[in-house]
Structure 1
Amino acid sequence: MACAVMMAFIWHSALLLSLVAALSVFADVKLDCRPDFVSLVWTDRHHADSSLLRLGDCVPTSSSAREATFRVAYTSCNFRTMVTGNQVVHTNDLTYLSPDAQGETYVHHVVCVFGRPKDWSPVSYKPVFSTFGQSDLVFHMALMNEDFSGPAESTRFALGSFIPILARVEDNTHQPLLLLMEECIASTTPEKQPDHFYNIIGNKGCLLDSKISHSKFEQREVSSEMRLKLQAFRFALEEEVYIHCKLVAWDPSGIDSTKKACHFIKGHGWELVDNPAHNDVCDCCETSCKSRWSRSVTSGKRGISQNAVLGPLTITEVRL
């Protein structure tokens, strides 16, 4: 009996491996990159189920027994948009889900590259990220002008001046959400570089940079927004700088030492932006703020997070 079960398992595994190989060899992927959307047609030459295809988190726009078509905007389906040098790059993954729900068995990388428009600047490029939930949440991060009344007029900032950054989550279909900037680093590339970065926010929402500068969180106007005035730092002067952040949408009543926004005020100490009466939740900013389970935005789940990147921007040593 055990031998029969083992043989069945080996046969099933071999079938799945054969299917993966067949997908990579016997399927055609035609990609048409347009400025605002992408059209992708997947044509099967074997016996795969096209309904199991996903582009990011999107199902096919239309499908038949042998073909699946996706026609989607770059602001949907978990597309990742990066701006590097003179290029705007949109990336995603076309995946075929395992029939036995054991995981993804086939991945085809989707890349669309465009030249950066001459009049392009990060203020008009707002990275938008969709996440899973009871319905999709959309996160934004953007450079703003001094009083946050509109987009920044320049992406160049003099050393010591302030870089106003706005982070926001759209929560029209949810209960009120609290937007938190849990982690932020500065890097010289659109991708994180663990061996070359400047730590801005860490330790579960502590504005670490505020201990050595005048950086601070602004008081909120709405819970779903976070305003950061970041004092321009000496890291990577005159180079392109990208700000990488982990944004979290959370239950407004669930603030604790692991879900918070704290900044350091000279002569006063760490302050909890949303309620200074409970500054004690910021005490761990000097040590280590441990993660733990807590009440969530959606029943039975934790808060929803999304990685975001803003840039490039440039910090200059000479005042502009």
Structure 2
Amino acid sequence: MTTHLYLGVVLLALFAAPVENNADIKVVCAKGSVNIKWMISEELVPHAARFFLGTCMPSHLTVLPTGEGEVVFNYKLADCRFKRLMKGKNVIFQNELTFRPQPRSKPAAFVYPIECVYKRPDGWIPAFLNPGFGVSEGRGSLVFHMALLNAELTSIAKTNVVPLGSFMPIWAAVEQKSHQPLLLLIEECVATASPELHPGSQVHPIISNKGCLLDSKRGNSMFLPRYQSSALTIYLQAFQLVVGQEVYIHCKLVAWDPEKFDESKKACHYTKESQSWELLDDPSMSGVCSCCDSTCKSRNKRGVDWETNAFSHHSVLGPLIIIDPSANNVSGGPV
């Protein structure tokens, strides 16, 4: 044991100087794969097996005439436990290069982040759009969905426990089936400590004023870019309503004409960069969001079909349990 620990200390000391220059690591992201070349010192060449990409060992090692080594990782993005995330119009694969002079139970001596970013394929639809996920409820000829997603935005969350201050992606969608194309909007949204709204209930407004995301101005919440018009995702920062107790998200979902926006039919969030409200679906029409700091009213009169209850639905998501990480952990279950 003493010899092993001593070896780890020696390797760590040898490794400290070379990694100060990140030019020693070259990353090439290809279609579905990644190629990484990592230059290491002569002293570390005998210990090349202690270098990792995620869970993968080097594909091969080349010893140069200078005595230095080139550790190569050539793997598919489906290998090595790459983490896949969806962000806007991009698909992101993330992993880490590590040097571990001691067993895996010990912290790595060096960690270097790896990230490959690709444009999301045209027509891509996440699997959770299929019926049966989250809260699915019919309304006339339409079926509405609402669910909490995982951090990678790839599936429904497996837990309803959310740390205070972290982000919870809330997804809503309407199944169009044979219906004409629809735009899914969230007109109103509040959080409460009860599955039913009662007069005098303590509420935390999330969306109000016909589609204005209030939490984007007072916090860091936002609407994520759409993958299709009939679905919408709120990237909501967990708030302090009733920490450690059940929280329910009540929303009014509206299926609308995708070609028509006005002050009463919109999805607006506040951008800190421009310090103004922006229309998610067409920033050039952000003028319809200018009422978000006052009172939004409908400018256009639509046909009676668009104003019937068949195209709107009240949905409740929960229970969610928001915990304070500095306090005791709270066990939760599926949403």
Q: Which TM-score applies when normalising by structure 1?
A: 0.57
Give 1:298 deviation, angstroms: 4.2
Which amino acid is 2:269 matched to?
Answer: H
Which residue, out of 172, 175, 200, partners 2:177? Answer: 172
Instruction: State yes or no: 1:255 paired with 2:261.
Output: yes
Cα contact 1:157–1:314 (8 A) shared by 2:
yes
Q: CA RMSD in A?
A: 2.1
Aligned residue in 1 for 2:168: 163
Deviation digits for residues 220-244 of structure 1, max 9, x if unmatched? 0100000111000011111100000
Deviation digits for residues 24-57 of structure 1, max 9, x if unmatched? xxxxxxxxxxxxxxxxxxxxxxxxxxxxxxxxxx
Q: Distance in 1 between matches of 2:167 and 2:310?
A: 30
Instruction: State yes or no: 1:230 paired with 2:230.
Output: no
User: Where does 1:185-200 land on structure 2 (aligned, <5 Å)?
Assistant: 185-195=190-200, 196-200=202-206
Give 1:148 deviation, angstroms: 1.7
The DSSP-based 3-state class of the residue aligned with 1:236 is coil
Cα contact 1:155–1:314 (8 A) shared by 2:
yes
Q: Distance in 1 between matches of 2:183 and 2:320?
A: 27
Give 1:291 deviation, angstroms: 3.5
Which amino acid is 1:146 matched to?
Answer: A
Q: Distance in 2 between matches of 1:258 and 1:303?
A: 17
Which amino acid is 2:242 matched to?
Answer: A
Which residue, out of 202, 208, 212, partners 1:202? Answer: 208
Aligned residue in 2 for 1:312: 319
Which amino acid is 2:156 matched to?
Answer: P
The DSSP-based 3-state class of the residue aligned with 2:313 is strand
Cα contact 2:269–2:277 (8 A) shared by 1:
yes
Which residue, out of 152, 156, 162, partners 1:151? Answer: 156
CA 299–181 in structure 1, closer or farther in 2 if over 3 Å, else same? closer
Q: Distance in 2 between matches of 1:170 and 1:152?
A: 20
Which residue, out of 264, 272, 281, partners 1:274? Answer: 281
Q: Distance in 1 between matches of 2:192 and 2:307?
A: 35
Which residue, out of 132, 135, 141, partners 1:127? Answer: 135
Cα contact 1:250–1:296 (8 A) shared by 2:
no
Give 1:295 deviation, angstroms: 3.1
The DSSP-based 3-state class of the residue aligned with 1:282 is helix
Q: Distance in 2 between matches of 1:240 and 1:318?
A: 16
Cα contact 1:217–1:226 (8 A) shared by 2:
yes
Give 1:209 deviation, angstroms: 1.1
Look at both structures and tell me which one has the larger radius of gyration over its CA atoms.
2
The DSSP-based 3-state class of the residue aligned with 1:254 is coil
Give 1:296 deviation, angstroms: 4.9
Give 1:172 deviation, angstroms: 1.3
CA 230–172 in structure 1, closer or farther in 2 if over 3 Å, else same? same
The runs of 5 or more residues in structure 2 that have no matched partner are 1-131, 330-335
Q: Distance in 2 between matches of 1:299 and 1:142?
A: 25
CA 225–299 in structure 1, closer or farther in 2 if over 3 Å, else same? closer
Aligned residue in 2 for 1:137: 142
Deviation digits for residues 251-276 of structure 1, max 9, x if unmatched? 00111111000011114111100000
Q: Distance in 2 between matches of 1:303 and 1:283?
A: 29
Deviation digits for residues 163-209 of structure 1, max 9, x if unmatched? 11110000011111000011000010100134211000000000011
Give 1:293 deviation, angstroms: 5.3
Q: Distance in 1 between matches of 2:133 and 2:161?
A: 15
Q: How many residues align?
A: 194
Which amino acid is 2:198 matched to?
Answer: Q
Q: Which TM-score applies when normalising by structure 2?
A: 0.55
Give 1:147 deviation, angstroms: 2.8
The DSSP-based 3-state class of the residue aligned with 1:281 is helix
Which amino acid is 1:174 matched to?
Answer: H
The DSSP-based 3-state class of the residue aligned with 1:185 is strand
Cα contact 1:186–1:242 (8 A) shared by 2:
yes
Which amino acid is 2:211 matched to?
Answer: G
Which amino acid is 1:128 matched to?
Answer: S
Aligned residue in 2 for 1:265: 271
Aligned residue in 2 for 1:77: none
The DSSP-based 3-state class of the residue aligned with 1:284 is helix
Aligned residue in 1 for 2:104: none
